[in-house]
Amino acid sequence: MVRTEGDTWDLANSVGVTATMVAAARAAATRRSQPVINDPFAEPLVRAVGIDVFTRIAAGELDAVEAQGGVGFPRMIDTFAARARFYDDYFAEAGKAGLRQVVILASGLDSRPYRLSWPTGTTVYEIDQPEVIEFKTATLSKLGAAPTAEHRAVGVDLRDDWPAALGQAGHDPSAPTAWLAEGVLIGFLPPEAEVRLLDNVIALSAAGSRLAADYGTITGSSQESQQQARRITESWRRQGLDLDTAALTYPGEHTDVAEHLQAHGWQPARSQLADLFAAAGLASLGDAEQQAPAATISFVRAIKT
């Protein structure tokens, strides 16, 4: 199904499936003998969603598939483990710099409010669709999980007036904020909505605020990109999942987040997936692996001066 301006989803269909996929990768990475991340809540959250292929990935039962190139993404588990580590380190640095206000945009099955060690006095705001927030909060509550910071969940679609909802939840735009847009600006919003989201972040950020994000698009418009998307879709179907990857993203020229922030007075530091692998101590990507969709995404950490 092609994305439309007002479409909806949950954690078992359309773009919502990607949140479950990423959580499954984090769960599998956590199982390794020398894990680069530790997310004890990822596997139970994936099991609660109930998609068979992701449950098997989370349980470590599809390592052989990953060794053959992954289920659609080369080294999928390493890719999302490295990404998670990149953002975990970002929050650690923000905390050391004195930031005590955190906003996670489109948090999906992210469990950072529960699994990271936050400095005393930190408030973590999570924004996602109400159904996603409700599902995750209820599932973690059944597990007996407790937030490690002041946790305020904000159930609102990012295409709606989320700044107002965030303000009602207590966010203070006069204090610096550490923002995270993980897996949000990679084609899952219309181009104009990406700019609107960034402009809202900029407007709500005091001096010293920070933003970390990945950006680009996981499916390009070229014939080669479309063929690659079809191959990925067939890979998922062989595993019993009907997920049309080409239909997950909106068409158009997507935003260079680092460039946009720099134009508005922020200082960006850019990275590529290969840099994240190196920082996490993972084996380098091969030449063929660097042509995969996930390897073409860019990353940025930026500070508002």
- pLDDT score of 18: 83
Q: Is the pLDDT assigned to residue 4 strictly greater than 60?
A: no
The token duo for 268 is 């960006």
φ and ψ at 261, to 5 degrees? Answer: -65, -40
* Residue 1 pLDDT: 45
Interatomic CA distance for residues 304 and 284, integer angstroms: 32
- For residue 153, give the nearest of 142, 143, 138 by alpha carbon: 138
Ordered strands of the 266-272 beta sheet: 150-155, 123-128, 101-105, 178-185, 210-215, 298-304, 266-272
Where does the pLDDT of residue 14 fall: very low under 50, low under 70, confident under 90, or very high at 90 and above?
Answer: very low
Q: Please, what is the Cα angle at 122 between 116 and 125, to 5 degrees?
A: 80
DSSP assignments along 145-208, one per residue: ---SSEEEEEE--TTS-HHHHHHHTT--TTS--EEEEEEEETTSS-HHHHHHHHHHHHHT--TT
Q: For residue 136, which amino acid is it?
A: K
Q: Which helix (H) or strand (E) holds 30?
A: helix 16-30
Percent of the chain with pLDDT over 70: 83
How far apart CA 120 and CA 97 sit, in angstroms, is 13
Q: Write 168-171 long-range contacts (CB < 8 A, 24+).
A: 169/125, 170/123, 170/125, 171/101, 171/103, 171/125, 171/204
What does the pLDDT look like over 101-117, one tens digit per residue? 999 999 999 999 999 99
List the single range of 8-17, 124-133, 134-143, 281-290 with lowest mean pLDDT.
Answer: 8-17
Q: Are strands 150-155 and 123-128 parallel, antiparallel or unpaired?
A: parallel
Q: Which residues of 96-120 are buried (b: 16+ CB within 10 A; e: fewer)?
A: eeebbbbbbbbbbbbbbbbbbebee
33-64 pLDDT tens trace: 999 999 999 999 999 999 988 898 899 887 63
Tell me the whole-structure pTM to 2 decimals.
Answer: 0.90
Higher model confidence: residue 118 or residue 190?
A: 118
Query: pLDDT-based confidence at 223, cuts 50/70/90?
Result: low
